Amino acid sequence: MVQDTQQEAKPGLLALVQHYWRVLFKWKWTAGIFAFTCVAVAIAYSFLVPPVYTAVGTIWIEEGPRVLPFEEIQSFGEGSSLSSHTLLLTSRSLASNVIDKLKLSENPDFAGKPKPGLPPPDPADPIYREKLVQRFLSNVTVTAKGQSRLVDVSFSNRDPRLAADILNALFDGYVEMIVSKRYSTSEQATRYLNDQIAELRTEIEERERKLNEYGSRKDIMPLSTAEASTVARIGDYSRALTEAQLERINKLNYYNQLKNAPLGEIPSAPEGSVIERLREQYINLRRQYETRLNTVSPDYPDMRRMKSELDSATEALQNETQNLIRNALAEYQAALRKEQSLQNLLDGQKNQAYKASGDSVVFNSLKVELDSRKALLEALSKRQSETDVSARLKGLDSLTVWIVDKAAYPLKPSFPNKRKNALLGLLLGFAGGIGLAIGLEYLNNTVKTSHDVARETGIPLMGSIPAFESEAKPKGPRGEFRRIRSTLAGSSAKEEKAKKKRRGPESPRDPLWLSNERTSDSRRETLIELIAVREPQSIQAESFRSLRTALLVSSPPGRIKVILVTSPLAREGKSSTVSNLGVTLAEASKRVVIVDSDLRKPRQAKIFGVNIANAPGLSRYLSSNMDAAEIVKPTDVPNLHLVASGPLPANPIELLTSERMDGLVAFLKKSFDFVLFDTPPLLAVSDALAMGPMMDAIILVVRGGQTPVPALRQAKQKLDAHKLKCLGVILNEVDLVEQDGYYAKQYYSYAIDD
C-alpha cells in the first residue's frame, strides 16, 4: 500500500513540475528581461556609486595586573569587561575629541561640501556638531575576534588616507582616555598624601625640638625596669595609633573617590558584581537611547519604553552607588573612632607615666611618640612615591591596551564589491524572474486551458484553436531562423500562383487577399478568417477540422442542425470560428449556411466580401415580406452559403424574436444540413439568450489568455438561468505548450516545416 501511495505521488509531483516548467517557458521573456535588468542595475550601481575605502587596525585589550599595590586607590573600572572597553571606542566623547584633533569639521571628505550659495556650517553649532559625531560613529565598526582579546576596529571613508588617519587618531585618543581614566585617582591620592606628609613633617620637627630641649634641660639618664615597661606600653599604643591613622586615611581617600566619581564609574568594582552589571546595563541603554533619539521622536512608544528602562537602570545604579558610599562612610567613621580610642588610651598611659615616674619616663615617652610619627611619615612617603609613579605612567601608552596593528592605507575599496553585486543581481534576477513569472501566471485570471473550462463551468471542451506564433524564432542553439509560413507569411510563391489559378482573378473585396496593414488584433482576426481555405495545412485549419469531427460525432445525424455560436465578451473570435467551421463542414460535403444574426456589429459579410448595403439580408427579411430563399447567397466555398445581416436596424432584439425568425429557422433547417448563427456576445446584449430556444445547440467561444474566468462563469450562469444547454466550448487562441505540452507543439512545427 505504501508503494501504491508513492507511485501515486510521483505522477502528481511530475505534473506539478511540468506545470511550473510550462509557466516559466510561457513567461520566459518576462523573466529573462527582469533578470537582465537586475544584473544591469547591479553592475551599473557598482560602477556609478562612489567607492568607499575601509581602514582596519587591531588592538589588544587585557585586564592586566594592578600597577599599584594599594587596592584602595586603584583606578576606576578596573574590573570592567572587554565589552565595556570596546564600547569606549564608539563613545561620543571619543569621537568628538578625534573630530577636534583632526579638524574634521573643515574637511570636505568627511563633513561634505557646503551647499552653493549658503555659508559653511558653524562647528560650534550643537546640532551640526551632533551630526558630525553621528556620522563619525556610523563609519566606525568594532569587532571582537572570538574569545580572544584582540579587537578589530575599522573606519570607512571615500578617501583612503583620511580613513587611515582617522582610525589611528581614534586609537591614540582611546589609549589616552583609558590611561587618564585609569590613573586619575592616583593623582588625587598623591595630592592628598602630600598634604598629610607636610603636616606630619611639621609635627615631627616640633616634637624633635621639644625632645631635645627636654633632654638637655633634665640631663636624662637610662630607664629603670619599671620605667621601661611603661615606655613599652606607650610604644605599643603609639604603633597601634599609627596603623589606625593610616587605615583612617585610606578609608577617607576611598570615601572621597566614591563620592566624587561620576555615575557608573566606581573604583575597585569587581567583575561580575552587581554594581558592574548595573553599570554595563546603564551604559548600553543610554547609548541606544541617544542613538535612536537622533532619528525618532521622544514621544514614540518605543522611545518612551526605552526611556523608562533607562530611568529604571539609572535609579538602580544610583541606589547601589549610594549604598557603597554609605558603607564607605561607615567604614571611615569606624576607623576614625578607632583612631580616637587609641589616641585616648595613649594619652591616658602618658598621663599615668608622667604622674608615676620621673623625667626619664617623660623623655622616653616623647621619644617613642616621635619614632611612631617617623614610622607614619615613612609609610606615607612610600605611598606618596608609589602614587606619584602611577600618575607619571599617564604618559605611557602600553598598560593593558596594546595597539597590535595600526591602520594602513587601504589599497582597494571595500564598497561596492562589483563581483558580489553582480552575483547578487544575478541571484535576485533569477529568483525574482521565477517569482514574477509565477505571480503573473496566477494574477492572470483568464481562461488558458481546457482544464480551466472544465473546472469553472463543467462544460466539455469541443476543440482548441492554437494561437499564432511570432514571425521568426531561433531554430535550436545554432541561431538559425525560420518562418512560420502558415501563420504570417502565407504560402510560398508557387502555392500562391496555384491558388490564383484555381480561384480566378483577384478581387479587391475577396477576403482571401485581405491586406495585412492592421493593428495586432485586426491582423490576428485577418489571419484566422477563412484560414481553413487559405492555409489548409496550418495548425489552425487542422484544429477546425478536428472541431468539425467533434461536432459530427457528438450526436446522431440530423439531430443537431441549427447551432448558435456566441461568446461571453467581444473580440473573442466567434465570427472567425463560425466562418472556418462552416468551411470545414462544407468540405465534408455538408450543405451549410451561415447566418450573420449579429445585427449590431456584423462581421460575416466582410469576411466573405459581401456588400451589405446592396445585398438583401436578415434585417430586411425580418422587417418585410421577402421570401427566405432571396437572402440566402452562395459563397466562393462550395456547399457554403451566407445570410448577411443586412442594414443595421434600430430594434434588433425585437426582429430576432419575431415569428418571421421562427419561419426562417424552420426553412433553413429544412434546406441545409447545418445552420450556423453568428450572434452578439452573451454578456453584452441578450440577443443570444433570446434566440436560444429556437436553436438545437449553443456553442461558446472563449479566447485563451484573454477571457476572464468570471466572465465565462457568468455566461454559464446566464445560460443555466434561461434553461439553455451549452453543447460545448471552443477555446480560441490557446497556447499549445499550456494546453497539450511540447509533443503537440513539436509535431505541428514539424508538419509546418515539411
**Residues 457-515 pLDDT 10s:** 888 889 888 886 543 343 333 333 333 333 333 333 444 444 444 444 333 333 333 33
Burial environment of residue 234 by CB neighbours within 10 A (0 to 12, 13 to 18, 19 or more)? buried
Q: 465 and 359 in one domain?
A: no
Task: Please check whether residue 285 lies inside any domain of the structure.
Answer: yes
Angle at 315 between CA 312 and CA 321, to 5 degrees: 140
Asked whether residue 660 carries a pLDDT value surpassing 50, the answer given is: yes
Give 303's pLDDT tier (boundaries 50, 70, 90): confident
Read off the CATH number of the domain in which 566 is found: 3.40.50.300
692 — pLDDT class (breaks 50, 70, 90): very high
The pLDDT value recorded for residue 599 is: 92
Q: Are residues 533 and 612 in the same domain?
A: yes
The total number of residues shown for the chain amounts to 754
Same domain, 558 and 614: yes
Pairwise CA distance, residues 134 & 136, whole Å? 5
From the CB of residue 692, how many other CB atoms can be counted at a distance below 10 Å?
Answer: 22
Share of the chain above pLDDT 90, in %: 27
Rounded distance, CA 364 to CA 386, Å?
33
Q: Which residues fall within 8 angstroms of residue 541, CB to CB, at 6 or more apart?
A: 486, 531, 532, 535, 580, 584
Amino acid at 366: L
| Euclidean distance between CA atoms 655 and 27, whole angstroms | 47
Query: Same structural domain for residues 735 and 646?
Result: yes
Q: How many domains does the chain have?
A: 3
- The verdict on 434 and 535 lying in the same domain is no
Q: What pLDDT is recorded for position 730?
A: 93
- Report the predicted TM-score, pTM, of the whole model to 2 decimal places: 0.50
pLDDT at residue 22, as a whole number: 77
Q: What percent of the chain has pLDDT over 70?
A: 72
Conformational region of residue 349, where left means phi above 0, alpha means psi within -120 to 50, and beta covers everything else: alpha
- Helix residue ranges, H only, 357-417: 359-392
Region 567-592: mean pLDDT is 93
pLDDT range class, residue 609, cuts 50, 70, 90: confident
pLDDT single digits (tens) 505-556: 333 333 333 333 334 555 555 667 788 888 888 888 999 999 999 888 877 7
Least confident of 102-111, 439-448, 575-584: 439-448
Does 464 map to a domain? yes
Q: Are residues 317 and 431 in the same domain?
A: no
pLDDT for residue 264 is more than 80:
no
Query: Domain residues for 480?
Result: 450-753
The reply to whether 367 falls in a domain is yes
pLDDT at 588 over 90: yes
Grid cell digits, residue 300: 514614540
Where is average pLDDT lowest: 159-168, 228-237, 448-457? 228-237
Of residues 78 and 96, more confidently modeled? 96
| Burial label, 95 (beta-carbon count in 10 A; 0-12, 13-18, 19+) | buried
In a domain, 623, yes or no: yes
| Distance separating alpha carbons of residues 550 and 609, to the nearest angstrom | 29
611 and 672 both lie in a single domain: yes
**Are 250 and 345 in a shared domain?**
yes
> Within a domain: residue 93?
no
Is residue 361 domain-shared with residue 434, that is, in the same domain?
no
Of the listed ranges 21-30, 257-266, 499-508, 732-741, the least confidently predicted one is 499-508
Q: What is the mean pLDDT of residues 418-446?
A: 88
Instruction: Kindly report which listed range (151-160, 284-293, 626-635) carries the lowest average pLDDT score.
Output: 284-293
Band (pLDDT 50/70/90 cuts) for residue 302 is confident
Could you give the C-alpha distances from 132 to 97, 106, 140, 288, 395, in angstroms and in order? 12, 11, 13, 18, 29
Shared-domain flag, residues 360 and 461? no
Question: Is 658 part of a structural domain of the chain?
Answer: yes
Compute the average pLDDT of residues 677-705. 93
Rounded to whole angstroms, how far apart are CA atoms 152 and 143? 5
How many C-beta atoms lie closer than 10 Å to residue 365's C-beta? 24
Whole-number pLDDT of residue 166: 93
The pLDDT assigned to 71 comes to 39
| DSSP assignments along 395-409, one per residue | G-S-TTEEEEEPPPP
In terms of DSSP bridges, do strands 480-483 and 472-475 run parallel, antiparallel, or are they unpaired?
antiparallel
479: left (phi over 0), alpha (psi -120 to 50) or beta: left
Which residue has better confidence, 615 or 479? 615
- Taking CA atoms, 177 is separated from 130, 337, 403, in Å, by 20, 39, 14
Using pLDDT thresholds of 50, 70 and 90, give the confidence band for residue 562: very high
Who's near 533: CB < 8 A, 6+ residues apart? 512, 583, 637
pLDDT digits (tens, 9 = 90+) for 238-256: 888 888 888 888 888 878 8
- Mean of the pLDDT values across residues 346-373? 65
Residue 329 in this model has a pLDDT that exceeds 70: yes
**Whether pLDDT at 401 is above 60:** yes
Q: Are residues 423 and 520 in the same domain?
A: no
Whether 122 is in a domain gets the answer no
Say what the pLDDT of residue 622 is: 93
Is residue 558 assigned to a domain?
yes
How is the chain split among helix, strand and coil, in percent rounded to 5? 60, 10, 30
Report the mean per-residue pLDDT for the chain. 77
Q: What is the pLDDT at residue 501? A: 45
Whether residue 532 is found in the same domain as residue 431: no
Q: How confident is the model at residue 162 (pLDDT cuts 50, 70, 90)?
A: very high
